[in-house]
A and B are shown apart, each in its own frame.
Chain A
Amino acid sequence: MKLDILQALNAERAARRAVIVITDVESGAQRLVKAAEIAADPLHDTLEKRLRMGKSGMEDTAQGRVFLTVHVPSPKLVITGAVHISQALAPIAQILGYDVTIVDPRTAFASSERFPDVTVIAEWPDVALPPLNVDRYTAFVACTHDPKIDDPALLHALQRDCFYIGALGSRKTHGKRNERLKAAGVSDADFARIHAPIGLDIGAISPAEIAVSIMGEIVQSLRQKPARATKAEAA
């Protein structure tokens, strides 16, 4: 691997941007494709599929048999609301390899006793979220039922292009949320990106079951939807 390719690869990884290295293992020829460049690449179908799966491997392509090294940042999950559902959702997400953070300014909820192995930040979203580097490899779930906490966090998640955004609440609650977020300048297209009612429809009743339905929906969003370049990556 040429040093300039290795340097570019490490720079992309450090910035939490996806990148694929294509290697012809016979000749040693190698090139690096950044996530933002995939759409314009001759191998874009293959590269997009690999990026979505996050899996390295050999691939027969029009350019011969090559090895694709796929580097995808580890996923994060940010939850507002240190509530019952979060107590189940956080450990499920951790088992799936997510780095989990819970934000809830209500200190009675946001206690380390209730969340022994999770990072819990007892601050309002405007203070807690910016340092978390929420990005397109982050799933965001709003669970407080309190617009004062959930709304600013949802706005942040939309701005940061999270791959999954979900909000707890009935259709009626979501309708009111629509009015509030529209008033805050959110477009119809952006509002439509919020999954609500949250979670896959598996008839979940208990908080733990709802957590399973939410996690299933997060996995579906990560693996089934085409990867796309963000504004940040295109820049």
Chain B
Amino acid sequence: MLGRDEDILKAAEDWSKAGRGVALATVVETWGSAPRPVGSNLVIDSDGNFLGSVSGGCVEGAVVTEAIDVIDSGKPKVLEFGVADETAWQVGLSCGGTIRVYVEKVG
């Protein structure tokens, strides 16, 4: 990951220090054609505000919903998205790839 990437991790720190409930989502595995590389981050707060990208827009909505649960429970989750998962998540990647996203609470 290049240091010049949009500074999502700094935002995660700043949001957390400002007292907001914060979760961090990270692409940990990809198969086939995936829109964002492994290591890509999305930071989410308990109001559903987010910054960054794990899929270029395809599954961010679902990740944000799950992240709010993670902020409440404190328990990390691994989410998987792909064309085969439409029944499970109601969202999919139009590119035909599969991604696995780790969501953890910050703080």
Contact = CB atoms under 8 A, between A and B. Distances in A.
Contacts of B104: 1, 23, 28, 30
Interface in B1-51: 1-4, 9-10, 12-13, 16-17, 24, 26, 28-29, 38-39
B10 A10 contact: yes
Contacts of A70: 1, 39
Q: Which DSSP category, helix, strand, loop or mixed, fits chain B's interface?
A: mixed
A97 B2 contact: yes
Nearest to A97: B2
Contacts of B102: 23, 25, 67
Interface string A129-169: 00000000000000000000000000000000000000000
A6 B4 contact: no
Interface in B70-107: 75-76, 78, 102, 104-107
A44 to B, nearest CB: 21
Contacts of A30: 104
Nearest to A5: B106
A30 B24 CA distance: 13
A16 B1 CA distance: 13
A221 B18 CA distance: 42
B66 to A, nearest CB: 14
Interface string A1-15: 111001101100100
Interface string B39-69: 1000000000000000000000000000000
Nearest to A7: B13
Interface residues of A, number: 27
B107 A3 contact: yes
B1 to A, nearest CB: 6
A67 B3 contact: no
B106 A67 contact: no
Contacts of A73: 3
Interface stretch (A35-43, A55-63, A181-189, A211-219): A55-63
A3 B3 contact: no
Contacts of B4: 74
Contact of A69 (B12, B16, B17, B26): B26
B1 A56 contact: yes
B107 A2 contact: yes
7 contacts: A6-B106, A10-B13, A25-B78, A26-B78, A58-B28, A69-B26, A71-B1
Interface of B: 1-4, 9-10, 12-13, 16-17, 24, 26, 28-29, 38-39, 75-76, 78, 102, 104-107
